[in-house]
Amino acid sequence: MVDTHSYDVVVVGAGGAGLRAAIEAHDQGARVAVVCKSLLGKAHTVMAEGGIAAALGNVWPEDNWRVHFRDTMRGGKLLNNWRMAQLHAQEAPDRVLELEEWGALFDRTKDGLILQRDFGGHRYARLAHVGDRTGLEMIRILQQNAVHKGIDVYMECTLQRLLTDGGKIAGAFGYWRESGKFVLFGARAVVLATGGVGKAWKITSNSWEYTGDGMAMALEAGADLIDMEMVQFHPTGMVWPPSVRGLLVTEGVRGDGGTLKNKDGKRFMFDYIPEFFRADTADNEREADAWYEDKKNNRRTPDLLPRDEVARAINTEVKAGRGTPHGGVYLDIASRRSPEFIKKRLPSMYHQFKELADVDITATAMEIGPTCHYIMGGVRVDPETAAATVPGLFAAGEVAAGMHGANRLGGNSLSDLLVFGRRAGAGAAAYASRTNARSVDQAQVEAAARAMLAPFEAEGGENPYSIHAELQDTMQSLVGIIRTEAELKDAIVKLDGLSERVDRVSVEGNRQFNPGWHLALDLRSLLQISKAVTRSALMRQESRGGHTRDDYPKTDAEWGKKNVVTRARGGKLELETEPLPQMPEELRQLVMSEEKQGAPA
Amino acid sequence: MKQDLLATAKSEGDVTLRVWRGSKGGGRFEAYTVPSDEGMVVLDVIHKIQALRAPDLAVRWNCKAGKCGSCSAEINGHPRLMCMTRMNTFAPGEEITVSPMKTFPIIKDLVTDVSFNFEKAKEVPAFKPKPKEADGTRRMYQEDVDRVQEFHKCIECFLCQNTCHVIRDHEENKKAFAGPRMFVRYAALEMHPLDTNDRLELIRAKAGLGFCNITKCCTEVCPEDIHITDNAIIPLKERVVTEFYDPLAWVKRRVMGQRATEPGKGEPEPPSAKA
């Protein structure tokens, strides 16, 4: 007999979005379970550094939701779902203040309010933060809140398949990591809060958990994915030594005054200001440096252009031979801020470089380069309820799409988790309250169980670790920051080849806490989602945000009106374009305005 | 393919770890040799062992950056995060052992059952803020939150719990002792500028603060450099003493009836641990 549980709402994932969803669904009266692959409190949110973007207006009273909305839409190169961006900008301040009600202790202004810091693409200092460990504060507060509410948490439990009944969600099926035994959840509604797929790339800031399983499960259950070509490479990852390559260096370094330099000591970002941001961006060092203190009379430093712009610029500098000895560029805060300031504002960066690279960031510049960080694409959702296109399925956070368009601004992820985590929890609870429990289809369960055990039966197959390494090499070299048709087609052939090999993968040992087996199963979702990314990237014949085509280097107005949609039909991926929801005229004007101050409240 | 990898000869560029393999029923150290990379940490070597030698070697990890507190283990007997232990900190040729945390029951290899910590967390009464300011805001000043922010740095690696001799060698104490991590948590709540909940009786009795005889082992192993003993445990002990053992406070309570429980009555002092 399979270990079986029954809930109104099952939340998959215990990062910021999952915990916030669970808390909301619980408060709305639903019986809720959270199911997560790691121990509680270890999800990716814990690694978030810089802060939570919210127009609280504590540092710059001029800030308001309209300015935040405008920044978000422009940062996303207008591919965002406008309604999500609007709800996000409007609700983020309340979600931050709510964390304070639950015990969060953000850094303070002189007046005792929540301090806000500068970040890329944000007009005003807007990120509520705790030094450079904001994610830790956020996940711990949400975790403790969920525990106090008595919400059931199933830790180290991996869900592999969504169960459907007549096209509607009926539950989910997976295994306990510790014992390898199967577990079945009956549920009226499922909230996916499973994060992204960064582990498909070799140089990544993401942990082992980021294998795209939520997206793969959604696809299999019949849901739409959109914008899968939009992958964010964070400009500043560590590059040396090799063992830490890809580890995140917070944008807060630049937010707090750090600047990018090439090997000649030149602040090269001034050479990379795109037309789209020219009116908002300082074109000389004096103005850029003055902006930190005086935002009324100066434009933003190009060091804090949106991430896609900065990552491409670094990529170009390195390719032109102006990089550091280890293939990055320099990020210098040592010559610009005092050691005391740096240690106070960026304690974990100081610690990370000191311990792992023997570099004292208060004395020398860091060597950094782009690292795969985030996927803007994911499950298509309704802005109000976070409902996916399959009845009973909801999605929030990185696994969902639309909010960030073609490129996410730093700080907008943590606020996204809170705003849409809450909305997903409410949406799922409301759905569960008006629907009957559906019956579990034993055939689906048995098929999933058979597939999960297959790697134990295969003999003489390949080691999952070597296939994973090849997948990472493929995505890194062929589906990276700069893409071309030939390389993307090459990648599709390689990914198909890897899929065939994954079908024959074999694992050693038994089902008890067996990482080789776990990886063998994760590889299936990694590959499926890598294919969705690659094929979407091939389809979009333009460059926009996190998607740059060397063969189509310009942004194309027609492509700006379309989402690329991915569906799975009969196990095969089908792609098409669909029109992007058009925003109301008033908001469109706001977004396109070139006023330095954004717009009045 | 796997055969080729195994055939790699041991060379100057190799590194060897002795890793504990086993389960509840027992186990032993196994030596694994894999190629070395510049800047490697112990967790990198473990990952390489999984990829090349022992695909079913069980280990917990997430961020590999000292931020999540998942990869706690004992390296040459010292409680440490594997992701923050550089291989170049060992002398050439030095034997390096990696074993699971000793205080928690073994699940498999380097993975232990840390549910003790999550159970103790459930016993902590929730944060309960006082009313907002008249203008609807929450005003707290940086100097007032600094010390609590130190406690909020905790990444829940449970190395302090693992090293604490009250429970490390005394399974029987676990029932009545929450451990250093939870004392940090209690201290964070007690010293939070907005909190109004009172947990002192709980800290004294159920959480077993009296067991701690401030040997500072927890502070020494904390990867976040939280001054657990000096800044959390000792101030909590002082608060408990003032609350329960200060004669003036006792009289005040009797007269004013501020507390339901009478201190020092019916409940024996917790036994001190045999270090």
Domain end position, chosen among B112, B140, B161 = B112
Answer yes or no: A234 catalytic.
yes
Do the domains spanning A237-372 and A442-562 agree at the CATH topology level?
no
Sign, CA dihedral A72-A73-A77-A79, equals positive
What confidence category does residue B191 fall into, taking pLDDT thresholds of 50, 70 and 90?
A: very high
Residue A598 pLDDT grade (very low, low, confident, very high; cuts 50, 70, 90): very low
Mutation target to probe the A interface, by most A beta carbons within 10 A, among B152, B197, B199, B226 is: B152
CB contact under 8 A, A241 and B38: yes
Question: Which of the following is catalytic: A254, A408, A422, A549?
Answer: A254
pLDDT at position B9 over 80: no
Residues B19 and B61: beta-carbon distance below 8 Å: no
pLDDT computed for residue B250 by the predictor = 67
Give me the residues paired with residue A6 across strands: A186
Query: Rounded to whole angstroms, how far apart are CA atoms A552 and A312?
Result: 15
Specify the pLDDT at position B213: 93
Q: Could you tell me the fold of the domain covering A442-562?
A: Methane Monooxygenase Hydroxylase; Chain G, domain 1 (1.20.58)
Q: Which residues of B touch A465 (CB under 8 A)?
A: 50-52, 55
Q: B125 and B81: one domain?
A: no
> Which residues of chain B are within 8 Å of residue A155 when distances are taken between CB atoms?
118
Contact B145 A145 (CB under 8 A): no
- What pLDDT score does B12 carry? 58
Cβ contact (<8 Å) for B59 and A516? no
Report the run of H or E that residue A357 belongs to, with start and end: helix A347-357
Cα–Cα distance measured from residue A237 to residue A230, given in angstroms and rounded to the nearest whole number: 19
pLDDT score of B257 more than 80: no
- Could you tell me whether strands A157-165 and A366-375 are parallel, antiparallel, or unpaired per DSSP bridges? unpaired
A78: closest CA among A223, A283, A230? A230
d(Cα A438, Cα A444) in Å, to the nearest integer? 14
User: What is the widest separation between alpha-carbon atoms in chain B?
Assistant: 81
Q: A423 and A396 in contact (C-beta within 8 Å)?
A: yes
Question: Are B50 and A39 an interchain contact pair (Cβ–Cβ within 8 Å)?
Answer: no
Among A265-269, A431-435, A596-600, B229-233, which stretch is predicted with the lowest mean pLDDT?
A596-600
State what percent of residues in chain A have pLDDT above 90.
96
Please list every residue in chain A whose beta carbon sits closer than 8 Å to the beta carbon of residue B39: 240-244, 356-357
Residues 6+ apart with CB under 8 A from A103: A141, A144, B127, B129, B189, B192, B194, B195
Q: Measure B86 CA to nearest chain A CA, in Å.
A: 7
Quick: pLDDT tens for B47-105: 999 999 999 999 999 999 999 999 999 999 999 999 999 999 999 889 999 999 999 99
- Examine the pLDDT at A429 and tell me if it is beyond 70: yes
DSSP sequence for A393-460 = EEE-GGGB-STTTTSPPTTHHHHHHHHHHHHHHHHHHHHHHTSPPPPP-HHHHHHHHHHHHHHHH--S
User: Model-level pTM?
Assistant: 0.94
Within 10 A of A177 (CB to CB), how many other CB atoms are there?
23
The confidence score (pLDDT) of residue A554 equals: 95
Closest to A437 measured CA to CA, from A5, A23, A22: A5
Residues B108 and B123 in one domain: no
* Together in a domain, B101 and B138: no
Q: Are residues B29 and B97 in the same domain?
A: yes
At which residue do the structure tokens 């062929």 appear?
Answer: A478
Of B56, B84, B148, the CB nearest to A105: B148
Rounded mean pLDDT of B218-228?
Answer: 98
Residue from A465, A467, A468 to probe the interface with B (highest B Cβ count within 10 Å)? A465
> Which pLDDT band holds residue B263 (cuts at 50, 70, 90)?
very low
Domain ranges (residues) in chain A: 237-372, 442-562
The CATH number of whichever domain residue B85 belongs to comes to: 3.10.20.30
- Is a pLDDT exceeding 90 seen at residue A378? yes
How many domains in chain B? Answer: 2
Looking at domain A237-372, which of 3.20.20.70, 1.25.40.10, 3.40.605.10, 3.90.700.10 is its CATH number?
3.90.700.10
CA distance to partner chain A, nearest, from residue B120 (Å): 11
| Among candidates B86, B121, B142 on the partner chain, residue whose Cβ is nearest the Cβ of A108 | B142
Tokens of A352: 């990370």
Q: At what angle do helices B42-52 and A464-478 cross, to 10 degrees?
A: 110
If asked whether residues B208 and B222 sit together in one domain, one would say: yes
Q: What is the pLDDT of residues A549-578, one digit of tens each?
A: 999 999 999 999 999 999 999 889 999 999
DSSP classification of residue B88: G
pLDDT of residue B253: 65
* Residue A259, pLDDT above cutoff 50: yes
The confidence score (pLDDT) of residue B2 equals 38
CA-wise closest residue to A13 among A400, A385, A375, A390:
A400
pLDDT in the model for residue B254 = 65
Q: Which residues pair with A379 in a beta bridge?
A: A225, A400
Closest Cα in chain B to A206: B63
B54 and B134 share one domain? no
Tokens of A591: 């977004």
Q: For residue A40, which of B99, B62, B10, B234 has the smallest C-alpha distance?
A: B62
- Dihedral, CA of residue A526, residue A188, residue A154 and residue A11, to nearest 10: 60
Same domain, B184 and B213: yes
Same domain, B199 and B212: yes
- Please confirm, yes or no, whether A286 is among the known catalytic residues: no
Interface contact B67-A105, CB threshold 8 A: no
Closest to A300 (Cα-Cα) out of A310, A292, A309: A292
Best CA proximity match to B258, nearest among B208, B198, B210, B202: B198
pLDDT in tens, B28-47: 999 999 999 999 999 999 99
Say which amino acid occupies B35.
P
Choose among A339, A344, A341, A332: nearest CA to A362.
A339
Please write the tens of the pLDDT for every residue from A210-222: 999 999 999 999 9
Does B119 share its domain with B251?
yes
Which domain range does residue B197 map to? 115-256
- pLDDT, tens digit, for every residue of A8-53? 999 999 999 999 999 999 999 999 999 999 999 999 999 999 999 9
pLDDT of residue A111 exceeding 90, the answer is yes
- Say what percent of chain B tops pLDDT 90: 79
Catalytic residue among A234, A408, A438, A544: A234
What's the number of CA atoms in the CB half-sphere (13 Å) around residue A413? 29
Mean per-residue pLDDT of chain A:
96
Backbone angles phi, psi at A52, to 5 degrees: -110, 120
Give A149 to chain B, closest Cα distance, Å: 9
- Optimal mutation site among B8, B45, B68, interface A, most CBs of chain A within 10 A: B68
Among residues B63, B57, B100, which one has the least CA distance to residue B80? B100
Contact flag B40-A40 (C-beta cutoff 8 Å): no
Task: Answer yes or no: do B55 and A41 touch at CB < 8 A.
Answer: no
Q: What is the mean pLDDT of residues A335-349?
A: 95
CA distance B61 to B71: 5
Beta strand ranges found along A168-249 (DSSP E): 168-176, 182-192, 225-226, 231-238
Give the mean pLDDT of B219-225. 97
ipTM of the complex: 0.95
Query: Cα B136–B140–B146 angle (5° rounding)?
Result: 155
Decide if pLDDT at A420 tops 70.
Answer: yes
Query: Residue A234 in contact with residue A205, Cβ under 8 Å?
Result: yes
DSSP state at residue A332: E
CB contact under 8 A, A248 and B62: no
Task: Give the number of beta-carbon pairs within 8 Å between A and B.
Answer: 171
Are the Cβ atoms of B141 and A112 closer than 8 angstroms? yes
A197, A399 contact by CB (below 8 A) = no
Same domain, yes or no: B245 and B136:
yes
- Rg (alpha carbons) of chain A, rounded to whole number: 23
Domain termination residue (choose one: B112, B143, B171): B112
**What's the N-to-C CA distance of chain A in angstroms?**
60
Whether A581 shows a pLDDT value over 60: the answer reads yes
The answer for residues whose C-beta is within 8 angstroms of residue A388's C-beta and 6 or more apart is A192, A218, A223, A224, A379, A380, A381, A394, A395
Taking the CA of residue B141 and the nearest CA in chain A, the distance in Å comes to 5
Name the residue of chain B whose CA is nearest to A512's CA. B108
CA A43 – CA A17 distance, rounded (Å): 10
Burial letters A186-200, b for 16+ CB under 10 A, else e? bbbbbbbbbbbbbbb
The yes-or-no verdict on residue A355 having pLDDT over 50 is yes
| pLDDT > 60? residue B214 | yes
B64 is a domain residue: yes
Of A44, A148, A465, Cβ closest to residue B126: A148
Task: Tell me, yes or no, whether B82 and B180 share the same domain.
Answer: no
Q: Mean pLDDT across the stretch A105-122?
A: 97
pLDDT score recorded for residue A593: 87
> Which phi-psi region, left, alpha or beta, contains residue A150 (left: φ > 0; alpha: ψ -120 to 50)?
left
pLDDT over 80 at B158, yes or no: yes
Same domain, B63 and B128: no
- Cβ pair A178:B122 closer than 8 A: no
Evaluate if residue A235 carries a pLDDT over 60. Answer: yes
Query: Is position B160 within any domain?
Result: yes
